[in-house]
Amino acid sequence: MSARSKALLVASLVIGARGAPAQQPDTTSRRAAASLPSVVVTASRPLHVIGHLPATQHSVIFAGKKTEVIVMDSLRANLAQDVERQILGRIPGAHFSETEGAGFPSNGVAFRGLDPTQSVEMNVRQNDVNIAADLFGYPETYYTPPSEALERIDVVRGAASLAYGPQFGGVIDYVVRDGQQNTAPQFSSSLSGGSFGLLDSFNSVGGGTDRITYYAFIHGRREDGWRPNSDFRQLAAFGRITYRPTTRLTIGGEYTVFRNRIHMAGGLDDSAFAADPRASFRARNWLASPWSVAALRARYEFSRTARIENTLSYVDGSRALVWRNEDGGPAAPDLIDPGTGEQIPREVENETFKTLTLESRLRLDHSLGKRLATLSTGVRASIVDGRRFEGGTGSVGSDFDLRLAEGTWETALRLRTTNAAAFAEELIHVTDRLGIVPGVRFESVHSAISGHSDVATSFAPRTYSYPLAGIGMSYITGESTEFYGNVSQAYRPVLYSAFTPVGSVARIDPALHSSRGMNADFGWRGTLDDVLKFDIGAFYLWYGDRIGARTGADESGDFVEVTNIGDSEHRGVESYLEVDPFPLLGLPKNAGGLDLFSSFGYVDAQYVSGQFKGNRVEEAPRVLARFGATYGIGRLSNTLQVSHTSNSFGDANNSLQPTDDATVGLIPAYTLLDWSLALRLAHKRRLTFGVNNLTDARYFTKRTAEYPGPGILPGLNRSVYFGMRAAF
C-alpha cells in the first residue's frame, strides 16, 4: 500500500465509515477516498477521538472552515449522563452551562465567548435537522439525543453561517447511528446506575437489506438528584427507515419523541452556596418540555457530478412550568398564606412552538477552466407558529400540576415567524494544493406578535433582510496536513424575549434591531506519521449591536430598557494536540497504547462601544483548558481528564460583589477531574465505570434571573457511575 493510500485509510478511520478523508486537491481523489470499505479495528492502541470534516460531504462544502468531528466509539466518557465536558470537551474553547445541580439537565454549549445557555448562540441539529424551537425567535435547545445513540458529533464554527443560517457560534450536528445494508438485525442494550439514584437504560436495533436500512432506539433515564427537589425522569425514542428504490434515488423518514418531568431545586445566593451548595429552598418548582421531531428526506443523483437533497422537517416542542416565581430572589421564602394556612399559589407558564421547515441543497461538480470545481447551493423556508402564556395562577400544592387554578393569563401571545433564505458556495481549485471558497447568503425573516401582555410594549410586525458574504481558503501542505482560513459574516435576529421583557419597569427601545457581525479564523491542522494529531489556530469575532438591558431615568422615574447596548470583539487562540508517544519510544504493541491530548482555548472578549466599553463580555472565561490521557491495553482502557475554566462575570457591568438575588457577580474559576474506564468482555459485552468530579470540587457555571433559579446554579459534586453494554 502506498504512503498516500495509508494516509487516506487513517483519515477514513478518524471521521468514520460514512465520512470522507481529509481534504484532497481534486474531486476524483475525494470520490476514491469516500468509497473505502468499513474497517473494524481491534488493536489495543487508542484511536484518535477527534477529526475534521472533509472538503465536501453530501451537498455541503466544508473546505476552509474550522470543523471538528467527535467519533463516539473512540471516546471514553460518561455517556450514561451525557457529561458535556467529557463528550465535547476535546473541542478547543468549548464552554458549558451546567444546570443539572438545579435539576435542569438541558445543558448548553458555546464557543469564543458567546452565551452557552441552552446553546442559544448555536445552530443545533440532529441528523442535519434543526431541533431548537424557533431558530429566529426562541433558539433554546431543550432536547439533544442521548450520547449512546450517536455515531459522531459534527461541529462547524462561525463560518457555518452561509450554508446553515444565523448564529454566531456556528452549527453542531448530532449524527445518530444507522443500520447497515445487508445485515441481520443488530441489537444493543446498556444499563447504567450510579450516585444520586441514577438509572439509565438504552436499547437499539439496526440492520438492513440491499435496498432498505433501519435503526431505532429507546432511552430512559431517571435521577433522584444531588440536591433535594432535583429529581427528573425522561424518555426518548427514535426510528428511521431509508429506502433505495434505484441506484440514484434514496428516500427515508425518521421520527423522534422526547418526554420529561423535571423537579427544579432552585438557585442559591452566595452565602447559601458557601454554607451548603446542596441546600434547596424550593420544593414546588416543576418543568416539562415534551419534544417531537419528524423528517422526510429525498436524495437524487442526476449523474456522478450532480445531486439534490431535500429535507422536510417538523418540530413540535413546548415548555410548561409551574413554580414559586423569581420575585425576591433565591432567599425569598416559599410562604404560607396566614389567611388560608396553605402555601401561596404558584405561577404557571406555558409555551408551544410548531415549526415546519423545507431545506433543499444542490451540488454540482463541474469544470472551471482546466480544473474541477464544486458548487453547493440551496434554499430554506420555514414557518413557526408559537404560543406563550405567562402569569397564570397555579395550585397551592407541591406536586407536578400544570393546570390553572383560577383566573386567566397575565400574558397571552401568539408568536409567528416566517423565513426564506438562499445560499451558494463554490469550491475553486486554483492549484493542486490551493482551494478558495467564496460564498453568499440572503436571508429574510418576518416576525409578528399579537395578544396582550402585562408589560407595555409594541407588537408591530418586523421584517429583516440580511445579505451575507464570506470566503474561505485551504492549502494542502502535505499528505495529511493543511492550512485553512475563513472570513464570514453572521447575524442574530431580535428574539421574542427582547420584545417581551419581564418586569413592570422594563421597556423596549423603538429602534431595537438585530445584531450583525463576522467570524474569522486561520489555522493549521492534520496528522504527522499517525502519531501526532493537531489543530492550531487563531480567531477573531466581531459582534455588532449586541442586544441587552440598560438602566436609566427620565421624568417617569427609573427604568430598564431592552436595546442595542454596543459592540464586542472576541479574539483568541484554539489548539488541539493529540499524541501517542509509545511508537516514538519504540515500545512494542503488547505494551498497549497511550493517547495524550490537550484542548486549549484563550478568549479575550470585550465590549468596544456603548456604556460597557472596556468591560469583559459576561459568561466569557478567558481560559478553557482540558488535558487528559487514555491508556489502553488488551481489553482495558481508561481516560483521565482535567478541565479548567477561568473566572468570568455574570453581568456586563463586571460586578465583583454579588447582589442579594445573586443574579450578578463573579463566577469563580474551577478545575474538575473526571475518570472513565471501559473493559471489553467476550461476546460483545463491555463494562464501564467512572467518577465525575473526582476531587469533589465546589463550583458553579452560571448565575441566572430565571428558571431553574434564580441565583447560583451549583455544579454537581463527586459522583460514581457503572454500567454494562451488550450487543448481539
Residue-wise DSSP of 244-304: -SSSSEEEEEEEEEEEEEEEE---B-HHHHHH-TT----SSEEEE--EEEEEEEEEEEEET
CA 401 to CA 404: how far, in whole Å?
A: 9
CA 349 to CA 410: how far, in whole Å?
A: 10
pLDDT at res. 37: 37
Q: What is the CATH number of the domain that holds 473?
A: 2.40.170.20
Of the chain, the percentage scoring pLDDT greater than 70 comes to 92
pLDDT at res. 549: 75
Q: Does residue 133 surpass a pLDDT of 60?
A: yes
What is the number of residues in the chain? 728
Neighbouring C-beta atoms of residue 249, cutoff 10 Å: 12
What range does the domain containing 164 cover? Answer: 3-407+414-727
Number of domains in the chain: 1
Provide the angle, in degrees to the nearest 10, between the axes of the packed helices 3-15 and 27-34.
Answer: 60
Neighbouring C-beta atoms of residue 180, cutoff 10 Å: 15
Chain centroid, CA 130 distance in Å: 11
| Residue 309 CB contacts under 8 Å (≥ 6 apart), including other chains | 58, 59, 297, 298, 299, 360, 361, 362, 363
pLDDT at res. 43: 41
Please give the grid coordinates belonging to residue 228. Answer: 433535594
Q: What pTM was computed for the model?
A: 0.92
Q: Indicate the SS3 state at residue 195.
A: helix
Place of cell 458553579: 700
Cα dihedral 559, 613, 703, 106, rounded to 10, equals 110
pLDDT at res. 591: 87
Neighbouring C-beta atoms of residue 594, cutoff 10 Å: 18
Q: Does residue 467 surpass a pLDDT of 50?
A: yes
Q: Does residue 703 surpass a pLDDT of 70?
A: yes
Q: Does residue 120 surpass a pLDDT of 60?
A: yes
pLDDT at res. 696: 96
The pair phi, psi for residue 328, each rounded to 5°, is: 90, -10
What is the band of 328 on the pLDDT scale with cuts at 50, 70, 90? confident
- Residue 412, exposed/middle/buried by CB under 10 A (0-12, 13-18, 19+)? middle
Q: Indicate the SS3 state at residue 583.
A: helix
pLDDT at res. 47: 52
Q: Does residue 10 surpass a pLDDT of 50?
A: no
Contact 261, 313 (CB under 8 A): no
pLDDT at res. 506: 64
**More reliable by pLDDT, 152 or 406:** 152
Please give the grid coordinates belonging to residue 37. Answer: 470499505
**More reliable by pLDDT, 460 or 696:** 696
Place of cell 493529540: 578
Q: What is the pLDDT of residues 439-461, one digit of tens each?
A: 999 999 999 999 888 765 667 78
User: Which residues share a beta bridge with 692?
Assistant: 719
Range 359-364 average pLDDT: 98
Q: Average pLDDT, whole number, for the chain?
A: 89
Range 631-651 average pLDDT: 94
What is the band of 7 on the pLDDT scale with cuts at 50, 70, 90? very low
Of the chain, the percentage scoring pLDDT greater than 90 comes to 71
Range 706-718 average pLDDT: 92
- Residue 401, exposed/middle/buried by CB under 10 A (0-12, 13-18, 19+)? middle
User: Which residues share a beta bridge with 562?
Assistant: 508, 549
Q: Does residue 26 surpass a pLDDT of 60?
A: no
DSSP state of 407: S
| Residue 29 CB contacts under 8 Å (≥ 6 apart), including other chains | none
**More reliable by pLDDT, 211 or 343:** 211
